[in-house]
Structure 1
């Protein structure tokens, strides 16, 4: 039986709760102990004490105390709710949901428990459970708009668009007075409902709703864009043209509006003259508009292109616009245009115009058009589709000679040096560019990146430190972690890989992994915030983005790099236990042994300090010193590099990579490398098949086919029976032939044996006629003596196939 509290102790219990909410943890513990002295088995007080202890960082002690609380009062919703909160704090959301559900059975009317349960359900994408929770919350507070909106969102994310629309309509019918035109929440709800109608394909209804409910909507741009889109889909030509023209008048630089206008006007893609007239109209109407002059270059050809490009290039070079080449480089995929553009710039240089036209720059100086033209040609010859680095360097030097203070010119020169492969020179020149404008964060970032590419890790950190907070405990690196500067962490990690400091490299890649974890967890607060603020469309868009978070190239790059490091550690374990390279050839074995011993001692010391700190009684930390007390127990990544199971650790990075980027051949190749080392042959084969489907001609795929065959032949007895049966049944004649083809290329003398081995593919149970035909063609191309024997065996399998008939 749970212990009952007196009136005085009940008041004291409310104080405990208030102290927890106000983060006055020491007072809360003191008040809880005061209750427990008289009522040592009061479950609710024990639970609240556990919750406070967890906030103080004593997670293990908090869980132990919470279990005691449950033993004392199994039917207390407070105990179960606290138990769920503890699990949520350690991110074990499945167990937290179980605890919340148990608490809700005991106290069905608790709005707080219901809310906590709903937030975890949407976090875990349990849409059906979320619908149930939101419906219960709506019944409890039906007068609140966000209760209705949340239920609509629940149905929307679950895929039931019609029900989501019905819920929003039901709320509108409960309103006695129309909302104010300035009501932001109502404005967003109207646009959200309109998007639901459109997603169902009811375009006519969506347009009518937009005219009626969205007429005075606060998001005027969204209303205009949707109206134009709906009219275009409904083929209401004149109205659609008018709508798109209104959008272009609002923003004449947006390509999408021009595309929409041309489409609704019914102008064929091949009618270049009519399309050009549209752009010319707006170029004349808006003299400063760039898009109306640049976009026709995408579709014009021949002399029309030359004329338009000449006008555009002259206009831009006269102004000295640095981004001229960046605006046009996408045209280089068209070979004739790639030849015309630099020729026009060269003509500009050869003409007197480049020498006499002067345009004021932002810094008050004047510059000749020639410098901009030289800059264009330098970028042209530096571009990978037209690369000639000697000419690129020649032109950038000419440009710098005319404008020695140009940051852009020096940056391009550094980029040219990078493409030469001279990372040291590239870093030096980029540093010179940075010194020309020390207040520019972009060039500061570029300089740091080039320093990292040159393996100057300390210099790069110092450079980045010029734009980080000086007061941050831990210095610039800590601030870059706080700012989640993923590009720096990744580049720094790859720099350490090149230096052979694998521990530090893993430290950086793990930091990137943790950043993505934080982004995943950060959505938790938005489940309630977005509903409270009425930002529904942005919320739904965020949810969909979060569902594909680890598809981001930033994650792929860091994960692939980390997996590569773990593979290196697996193949050649580090000799010094910390940041030494497995490939470092030290002449002094004693020194290596000494370094390894030192690293072990340092790791043991850190562990002892951490254990001692944990054993100390909890001390209050002043708010201002909280960050200062944080200490990294593995600053050099020694523990990460000293892993005994590198392939298991690599799986942390690999699993999300294969789940969210299955179309990445690099991910599948990395998966094969990990699984083949773990002797997970079935999973290795799965990755190999996926990689072959993406690019069967990839060099790594051919290599891995051979390695897989060798590994299976060598260790087939060690393969589990079920996996062995699957691998055997999945054996493919085409893959076997590919492997034999590679073998012959590597060892031409093996042609005879390779021919005999190709004949054996006819015994594979899964071989089909197409694969057998390919094998015969290969044998014939080799002029193998096995051709006739292959024909006979194949003819026995496919007696009606004429391809296997003996030649006359």
Structure 2
């Protein structure tokens, strides 16, 4: 190939160019940039150096400059595979994977033998789950270098992930045949992992007989003894070879008698899952005698026993655990509370222990030691405090009584103060709960678990700064961002979520959105982290773990961490869409001083906005002062410390909250939420709220139908149905006729368009006025939406519903208060509602003044 003019370097400059590459790979960007400038000073149009300089600039955060320089490099030498490879890397850094793949493929045309380009292309294809392309890339890499085992394994993975089990097995078998004369050592982890991975593929293909035969042939030499035993037991059970499976699971229980999976397999192998309870209990008793220190064989029978048999077994279990003073006894037992008869039996027994003397167990006639007697004195009231806190057996005054008894026994116990704090939390008294949990934390400053709880309770009480100081006790606090920066580095999602939700309650939407976007970025990081493992896992030979990781990543966003954050973020955007003034901070209702979405008069609005802007300016000034102080006290980094943290240009989320398109921004969270958490009721509800505001009526109808499918009696389904009806009728001219017809056909049962709107509303009231307080609230909301002049009647309805449903949950009563605030109700109405609500929930902070 003829040399392109200006692209040939002298030996010295060529050495410098290689040095640029090494500096980039070592993340020494300043040094790399300096050497690149030296090369370009003599060779200003050298495309490859320009491309490497662009890559360094991109790594330093100068994305636009990097792309401009990369395009100049390509213009200078369109036939340079280095330039095209770098161009692909730049696009990959911007997460535009389609453009990156195009660039890689163009680079490969110019340099078909380049392993780095092929490897990067293959990694991108598996990242995007383009398995056909991945197979082709891995096949090409194998043909070029068939002597490297990783290339064979990678091709097998490509076939396996695309569903080609037979092809994957054949690839691994072919390689084994080429090296069968060299017997691998037991310490050759890469070989034995590949062999077990082959067995994994055979089993997944459904040929369990072949998988078992293969495992028997290779299992004795594999260093993963436990893994082989687990696979063998599983195959035997699935092949219905019960006797052999029983022996296999018994051997596993000898290794770990606390593994519930082993017990599940053992029970199935013995055909006891549908057997008489007495027979199953006998089997578990035998295991308990064999493993006297194991808890599982004693706890498991409580799930299937009933009546007197259950009473005897749970009595023995409780006394054994309480005599030992096991703090987690209630956590082990509470799963039984779904059965009311079992709940009442446990309650009766433990209340009996509290009022009487400590009994002996039915299977142990030994008298209690002095230590066991001491344990019993505190473990019983501690169990009862937790018992009466639990949702199915809740009696908060009793829970408080028993928590106080525990504290009287040992005033220095962290657990006793924590259970008392939890009681106040369930009472709705977030202030007292956070105070008590902070007190519990002060009793053991080295306990990270109680520190976490204390921080969480402070956030639930909207004490964000105090919570950060509390969490900061267990962070390094060396970075300029302080504890919050450390929590971000540690990807502490629970804290960021609670922090964001606290800011929503305070209507500080900028900070709330900042936290939710930070969490969203953490999920993006987890998604991108796969790139590191595509090569690492092959190099280390950990193939089964790698495949499991890829499958886990496929379901990354159906994790509750994501759904909880996304729902909160969407609610924040909905608040912003309904009341754009909230972009300036919490708008105060001029009447009662509470944060509100209600309508203010123009004068009140201007006053509130002025005050909100002042508060925002004060926050920004405080943040700027904090940064200046941190910068002044921060030591100058060493010259070699290239990877310095980027400074956050928008710590208060001002840019996020000042968006002009909040509903469009909400889609960033809503899309993955509905894709991966479609069976979550709250996800469908916020989906409807977004789509109805965006006038996407067909999508809104689908969310409505899903809500009805997931919870047919849910009161919000009625509210949504009316809103959709109203939207179709009021915007009839602005909607495509096909869309209207499709929505009407799709949701005809929900919308009941053949019934007049007034009749539709009253029909719901007649059918549901005694169902729940939520149904009354739904009726009032729809009535208010249909005719705002009925507000006085609707307010009266909500007030009456509080006394009518005396057993209403705290969250239901809080929802009623929020509805009144949204309507901009007067302080008299709000105070009357709070007064009524306090009769049911006297300690709830939300119903207190101040």
Q: Give the alignment's TM-score, normalised by structure 1.
A: 0.86
2:85 pairs with one of 81, 84, 88: 81
| Structure 1 stretch displaced more, 673-682 or 40-49 | 40-49
Does the CA contact (< 8 Å) of 1:378 and 1:396 recur in 2? Answer: yes
Whether the 8 Å CA contact 1:400–1:409 is kept in 2: the answer is yes
* Alignment correspondent of 2:211: 206
Q: Does 1:379 pair with 2:386?
A: yes
Q: Is the 8 A contact 2:249 2:266 kept in 1?
A: yes
Matches within 5 A, 1:81-120: 81-120=85-124
- The answer to whether the Cα contact below 8 Å between 2:509 and 2:583 also exists between their aligned partners in 1 is no
1:683 and 2:699 aligned: yes
1:178-577 matches, within 5 Å, as: 178-267=183-272, 269-353=274-358, 357=368, 360=371, 367-574=374-581, 577=584
Q: Is the 8 A contact 1:455 1:495 kept in 2?
A: yes
Partner Cα distance (2:429, 2:540) in 1: 53
Q: Which secondary structure does the structure 1 equivalent of 2:529 belong to?
A: helix
Distance 1:486 1:29, change over 3 A: closer
Tell me if structure 2 keeps the 8 A contact 1:461–1:476. Answer: yes
From 596, 604, 628, the equivalent of 1:583 is: 596
Counterpart Cα distance in 2 of 1:328 and 1:239: 33
In the TM superposition, what is the alpha-carbon distance from 1:672 to its structure 2 partner? 0.9
Residue 332 to residue 666, structure 1, CA distance change in 2 (3 Å) = same
Shift of 1:11: 3.8
Is structure 2 residue 609 aligned with structure 1 residue 592? Answer: yes
Q: Which stretch shows the higher mean deviation, 489-498 or 399-408?
A: 399-408
Counterpart of 1:3 in structure 2 is: 6
What is the count of residue pairs matched by the alignment? 734
Task: Render the CA deviation track for 1:304-363: whole Å, top value 9, x for unaligned.
Answer: 1111111111111111111111111111111211111111112223332279945649xx
What secondary structure sits across from 2:61 in the alignment?
coil
- Work out whether residues 318 and 359 of structure 1, in 8 Å CA contact, stay in contact via their aligned partners in 2: no
User: Is the 1:579–1:636 Cα contact (8 Å) retained in structure 2?
Assistant: no
Do 2:288 and 2:297's aligned partners in 1 also have CA atoms closer than 8 Å? yes
Partner of 1:142: 146
Contact 1:155 1:161 in 2 (8 A): yes
Asked if the contact 2:74/2:83 (under 8 Å) is kept, the reply is: yes
Deviation per CA, 1:117-171, whole angstroms, max 9, x where unpaired? 1111111111110110011111122111111111111111111111111111111
Q: Which residue of 2 aligns with 1:165?
A: 169
User: CA separation in 2, counterparts of 1:434 and 1:604?
Assistant: 32
Q: Deviations over 1:49-82 (max 9, x none)?
A: 2223223332211111111111121111111111
Q: 1:464 to 1:671 in 2, by over 3 A?
A: same
Change (3 A) 1:596 1:623: farther
Q: Identify the range of structure 1 (700-709 vs 40-49) with the bigger mean alpha-carbon deviation.
A: 40-49
User: Is contact 2:28-2:642 (8 Å) kept?
Assistant: no
2:135 is aligned to 131
Contact 2:744 2:751 (C-alpha < 8 Å) held by counterparts: no
Correspondence 1:710 to 2:715: no
Q: Is the 8 A contact 1:427 1:451 kept in 2?
A: yes
Cα distance in structure 1, aligned partners of 2:754 and 2:371: 64
Does the aligned pair in 1 maintain the 2:701–2:747 contact within 8 Å? no
Q: Which has the higher contact order (CA 8 A, sep 6+)?
A: 2
Deviates more, 1:718-727 or 1:386-395: 718-727
* Residue 657 (structure 1) aligned with residue 660 (structure 2): no
Counterpart CA distance in 1 for 2:696 and 2:49 is 50
Contact 1:576–1:592, Cα closer than 8 Å, also in 2: no
Supply the distance in 2 between the matched residues of 1:103 and 1:745 (Cα, whole angstroms): 68
CA distance in 1 between partners of 2:211 and 2:140 (Å): 30
5+ residue gaps, structure 2: 361-366, 589-594, 628-635, 768-850
CA contact (8 A) 2:587 2:609 kept: no
What displacement does 1:22 show?
Answer: 3.9
Structure 1 gaps, min length 5: 611-618, 750-808
Question: How far apart in 2 are the matches of 1:5 and 1:50?
Answer: 19
- Name whichever of 172-181 and 238-247 sits farther off: 238-247
Distance between the aligned counterparts of 1:483 and 1:390, measured in 2? 39
CA distance in 1, matches of 2:38, 2:411: 76
TM-score (norm 2): 0.82
Paired residue secondary structure (2:55): helix
**Match status 1:153 vs 2:166:** no
Task: Give the match for residue 803 of structure 2.
Answer: none
Instruction: Quote how far apart the aligned CAs of 1:495 are.
Output: 0.9
> How far, CA to CA, are the matches of 2:531 and 2:743 in structure 1?
43
Equivalent-residue separation in structure 1 for 2:137 and 2:696 (angstroms)? 42
CA positional deviation for 1:270: 3.6
Per-residue deviation at 1:597? 8.0
Q: Report what 1:761 is aligned to.
A: none
Distance 1:132 1:637 in 2: 45
Corresponding residue for residue 717 of structure 2: 701
Q: In the alignment, is the contact (CA less than 8 A) between 2:583 and 2:658 conserved in 1?
A: no
Rate the CA distance shift 1:348–1:249 in 2: closer, same or farther, 3 A: same
Among 627, 651, 654, the residue aligned to 1:635 = 651
Choose the corresponding residue for 1:69, options 58, 67, 73. Answer: 73
**Cα distance in 1, alignment partners of residues 359 and 409 from structure 2:** 12
Conserved in 2, the CA contact under 8 Å of 1:410 and 1:432? yes
Question: 2:56 maps to which residue?
Answer: 52
Q: How far apart are 1:674 and its partner, in Å?
A: 0.5
Aligned to 2:842: none
Query: Per the alignment, do residues 599 and 245 of structure 1 end up closer, same or farther by CA in structure 2, a change over 3 Å counting?
Result: closer
Distance of 1:450 and 1:686 partners within structure 2 = 38
8 A contact 1:357–1:368 mirrored in 2: no
1:93-117 deviation per Cα after TM superposition (whole angstroms, max 9, x unaligned): 1111110000001110111110111
Change (3 A) 1:605 1:82: farther
Tell me what 2:22 maps to: 18
Give 1:693 deviation, angstroms: 2.2
Residues 410-437 of structure 1, C-alpha deviations (whole Å, 9 max, x = no match) = 1111111111111111111111211221
CA contact (8 A) 2:705 2:747 kept: no
Deviation at 1:722, TM superposition (A): 4.1
Task: Classify 1:52/1:588 alpha carbon distance in 2 versus 1 (closer, same or farther; 3 Å).
Answer: closer
Post-superposition CA distance 1:158-206 (Å, at most 9, x none): 1111111111111111103111111111221122111111111111111
- Report the equivalent of 2:45: 41
Contact 1:578–1:642 at 8 Å: present in 2 too?
no
Alpha-carbon distance in 2 for matches of 1:131, 1:678: 42
Shift of 1:595: 5.0
2:688–2:701: 8 Å Cα contact kept in structure 1? yes
- Displacement after TM superposition at 1:368 (Å): 4.1
